[in-house]
Structure 1
Amino acid sequence: MSTLIGIRGDANDGLYSPAKEKAANRGAYISRSPLLLRRVRQLLVLAKVKVILGLCALCVVVLLTSRLSSFMGWNPHHPSSVSSPSRGGYTVLINTWNQNSLLKQSVAHYASCSGTDAIHVVWSESDPPSESLKAYLKKIVLSKSQTAQKPNFKFDINEEDNLNNRFKPIEDLRTDAIFSVNDDVIVPCPTLNFAFTVWQSAPFAMVGFVPRMHWLDKVVSNLNPSSILALLFS
């Protein structure tokens, strides 16, 4: 006598069958696979979009930086040495007027700066410089210079007395950089050399100092604010 034993599931499924359960599980997995693939594709597309947007933003930043650098005259590939042969150092243009003692001190100081390639003295007095003054200044340039190639020294003599003489074209100019200064102003050599390196990074801009100082005296203490500003910014 044989007995048929069946395991009943719920009322709708009828008898339990392992094969039927495997088929049901496989169908559920197959139905979930397209959803998983779609989700993976969405993530990949989103990642690609982020990468493209990042590259676009980087290109915009680089473009704006290059345009701004060109507009400001900025050149990041500048030589690191103040005595670079490509620039030739700098020319010191000294404006003087009837102050030979200050002129001697000024020439001696700037001749000792390592970046000085030449020294030109703007002479606007009615009488030309004496031969003894010329000889003394040339000698002091040779003695104070600490470089193998000694700075060139020259007087730029003008027939008329004019403050604008310092802005006239300079003959025999060998450098791109010109440092214009009065004979009573002494800028330390390290500071001047640093200013030259700054100028090299932006050669179409101007780099300078503001050594003059103004203050109120008791005699002019009753000036109105506009007059005070005129003194400060003149």
Structure 2
Amino acid sequence: MAPNRPQVSFQNKAFATVLSDPRELEAALVSIYSLNYASKTDIIVLLASVQFGSSHIDQLEKVGAKVIKTNDTADKAATNLWALFDYQNIIYFTPDVVFEKKVDELLALPVGAADKDVSILVLEPNPRTFTMLSRNPSSSFVAMLRQASLIDDKQSLTTLDEIALVYRGPMKPWNFHAYNDSDWKKHYDPVAFYKWRRIQQNVQHLLRLDDDWNNKARQRTICDNYLDTTTNITHFPVQDQFSVMISTYNPERIQHLSLIIRHLLKSEKVHTVFVTWHNPHLDVPRSLFQKIRKVDYSRVKVLKQSFDSLNNRFNPSSELQTDSVYIMDDDIYVDINDLEFTFAAWQSYKDSVVGHFPRMHTYDPETELATYKVVGNAPYSIILTKSMFIRSDYLFSYTCLLEPQLHASVDSQLNCEDLGFAMMASGLSGAPPTVVRTAKSMEDFGLRKGISTNAAHMPARSQCISDFISDYWHKVDPLKSSYISIAPFTRPRIRTGNWSRIEKTIMSQKKR
């Protein structure tokens, strides 16, 4: 039976999509928003699930859709496209389409025209086709179309790239951080993904989901500027050196920061030292430049920030040329030989976060409760940003592609940016973190006054883990446990064999 017709003004043609799972809603909102700004044609949404509530319908209507609810399965609900008799033609689209320009050209295409994956299809509503399809709802939507000869392979949309972005692969811009496979780079398209995220920001603003966030313009400002000044964001030509990104905020630490920079520049493996100056209300003290004037200042870049956010420590930079970045706090000192050894270890584990400060967590998807603790033995699942090596690609991924509301959570709590980053890195690549054991003791000047000394720190970290996994990874924990610890090579301890000694050892083991 045909669905109730929406109260719409009569038009010859319309766009339409079918949603069967609320998890498709965000992608659909972006797709409809992009279409609504490219064409003034009606946009119909068929909801094929009782899981959609009034709040979902309200959001769809706010971005310009006309909603029809059905109680059918997704494939059966799709047959109702042929029951939209008020329209001469329907241009069907899936939620993984973002419309860019020349959309009205689709309205002139003949019935049966489709792209290769049937992400877009031109169809003609009529009672005869609707009745025929309703009698055979068991097959998949695409199979049903082909069986009924409703796709004209001679009318394929070969020029679709000029009209829309279709996210065809297994990795989508809304779920890239949960892809969880080592072949992630084959499907990773940061520029195309950012186009989707940029539209999603517009949707959030329209739906007033970011009204109480002071930094809501931060992601767009930083990422637009980065793309405007960078020719190839996935190409980092320097492979045999690494860059350093030091986060600092307090002018009182300038003297010690200059010592760290001078220390780092002693290494020929260090290509550039980037100082991320987090305080947008103060200029960088001149004393910093005075104290490092005797070293190679051309290798030092100061990144002054316009927004006050801990997320700034992962901002991409157009001046970054190395494929590896060493992220560190301004109160950590690591011996140069140990640092260069850690870089060598990272080169064997490039998808991993490789560093020196391990932590362990747990997460229960049923209760949505998490724990967080310092560990002295394996396993561990997190490497802190106090001292860690990462892929340079991950900077853009975190800053420009992650859900903005995760960044907002970091801003509101002044905490947890490293947890969000760790989840993104493991969730994207499926790679666990890797700890490197240094030959010399590291110096941590934050042990007495750092944020981790606060009694509320550990419970707050546990809550962040719970919130992030529940809200942004759909209760599927992206963090991986690791048992690996990499240490500098030392000669194996070997002595001349003695069977009597071995026999005594084996016999003593039996008695335990």
Choose between structure 1 and 2: higher strand proportion.
Answer: 2
More helix by share: 1
TM-score, structure 1 as length reference? 0.49
Normalised TM-score (structure 2): 0.24
Give the structure with higher Rg (CA).
1
